[in-house]
Amino acid sequence: MEGNESLISAMVELSLTQAELAERLNDHLIRAGHDGTVSDRTVRNWVTGKTRWPHPRQREAIEAVFGCTAEKLGFRSPARRRPSNSPENPVDRRNFLTAASGATASVVAPFTGAPPRVGTSDVIRLRQGLDALMELDDTRGGHEGLERTALSGAEEALAKQKLGATQRVRQRLFSVAADYTATAAWSAIDARQGGRAATLLGKALYLAGMGQDPVVEMKVWNSYAMLAFQQGEHHEAVDAGLAAQTTAITKRDPLFASLAHARTAIGHSTLGNRQAAIRSLEYAQEALGKASLDDPRSSWMAFYGPAELTAMRAIVLDRIGDSADAEAASHRALGSIPEQFRRNRALATARLALAQLHQRDIDQACATASGVFDLMADSPIPGRMRSLLGDYYRDLIALAPHAAVAREWGDRYRTEWSRA
């Protein structure tokens, strides 16, 4: 049975899984006053070609979601059978002519087997694997197992693109390989493995070019900016943020533009360039105001929105000396960062503690910083978070070397460090 490649391609374009498409279609049906009758199985039957022509109401919903006719999505209305006047079966005639011509392939193929067919369904399956990795990263952060799994996904995507798929599918597989490689690089950054991350980012950028994928290019430059900051290359961090701003996706989608400006703002603040940092934050806020947050996007961008921009604003404000405003921004961020982004909540908590510490509120800062350990209690603390806590401890010792609360926090910090 031949699958519906046109429908699968359209789902890939919108980054929709079968379950997500079913949910969208049911939303449309309910708004139109009908029952939501589309299930995962319904969509699966369309994708596999088992169902060639959906019910009228379902077709209307499909056309509304994708913005084109059902026929363009590969669906075909059942045609009436017409009696054939041909005296012989054309298939039999073709088989006879092929055999008579002595074509080697018709003889050899049954014994060697045809090469496996790679199509858009393979792209969807691999992208779903990326979604699962992003969920793991949101909760636990970067670690060796996540990086290893991401690299395995990249290898599978690259292997499949060699198996005779169409050029369009091969390009998408390059894109998937780039995304997996960039995910592995991000995991290395979060684990503070800078050398490995740099190598992987270079490869991811090459694969993104092969796949002509501006979203992954943006992902790579965003990661380059973070890596440059880790390595103390603050001018390079600004340059990477500016490179992120020039990717094609930032021209089409203001949410990506907002992230690129916010990342640039952090780079400027680290250099002490107050005016440039504030200006970049304003650009980020303006772009975010133009973005539709409900549009389907790659799963790695799920973390970014008003809450994350507020958390990044807190970083910028603390770095340029506005610690009171940074504390207020951190509180707002923690009030809106979704619970599933546990790692990001822990990082925002550490930033809140730093802003409180820089205002000499030692007791409150130590209580807040202890909350990071509570949030990450059942998982190892990622390297990037451990480094941030190290920054907090150094500032704490510098500001209050003899305070009892500082000694107590230091004892817990050393205990948690050994556990991590």
Check whether 299 has a pLDDT greater than 90.
no
Check whether 85 has a pLDDT greater than 80.
no
Q: Are 12 and 126 in contact (CB under 8 A)?
A: no
Tell me whether residue 235 is exposed, middle or buried, using C-beta atoms within 10 angstroms of its C-beta: 0 to 12, 13 to 18, 19 or more.
exposed
Q: How many residues does the chain have?
A: 420
What confidence category does residue 2 fall into, taking pLDDT thresholds of 50, 70 and 90?
low
Q: Are 181 and 204 in contact (CB under 8 A)?
A: yes
Residues in CB range of 90: below 8 A, 6 or more apart: none
DSSP state of 52: S
pLDDT digits (tens, 9 = 90+) for 369-386: 999 998 888 777 888 888
Per-chain mean pLDDT for the chain = 83
Name the residue among 126, 172, 154 with its Cα closest to residue 9: 172
pLDDT digits (tens, 9 = 90+) for 122-154: 888 888 887 777 776 665 666 777 888 888 889
Check whether 398 has a pLDDT greater than 70.
yes
| 371-380 contacts at long range (C-beta below 8 A, 24 or more positions apart) | 372/346, 373/412, 373/416, 375/342, 375/345, 375/346, 375/349, 376/342, 376/343, 376/346, 379/139, 379/140, 379/141, 380/140, 380/143, 380/419, 380/420
Mean pLDDT of 49-69: 85
Check whether 271 has a pLDDT greater than 90.
yes
Which is more confident, 161 or 203?
203
Delimiting residues of CATH 1.10.260 domain(s) in the chain: 5-66
Cα–Cα distance measured from residue 414 to residue 420, given in angstroms and rounded to the nearest whole number: 10
What confidence category does residue 57 fall into, taking pLDDT thresholds of 50, 70 and 90?
confident
What confidence category does residue 111 fall into, taking pLDDT thresholds of 50, 70 and 90?
very low
Residue 112: per-residue pLDDT: 42
Check whether 108 has a pLDDT greater than 60.
no
Q: What share of the chain has pLDDT > 90, as a percent?
A: 43
pTM of the model: 0.70
- Which CATH architecture group holds 5-66? Orthogonal Bundle (1.10)
Q: Are 262 and 217 in contact (CB under 8 A)?
A: no
Mean pLDDT of 390-408: 91
Name the residue among 209, 214, 146 with its Cα closest to residue 180: 146
Which is more confident, 331 or 59?
331
Check whether 118 has a pLDDT greater than 80.
no
Q: CA 285, 291, 293, 296: dihedral to nearest 10 degrees?
A: -140
Check whether 81 has a pLDDT greater than 60.
no
Residue 88: per-residue pLDDT: 43
Residue 139: per-residue pLDDT: 58
Dihedral of CA 356/331/190/138: which sign? Answer: positive
DSSP state of 116: P
Alpha-carbon separation of residue 233 from 205, 224, 226, 271, 284 (angstroms): 20, 11, 10, 10, 22
Both tokens of residue 35?
């029952």
Q: Are 319 and 294 in contact (CB under 8 A)?
A: no
Which is more confident, 165 or 183?
183
Q: Are 379 and 140 in contact (CB under 8 A)?
A: yes
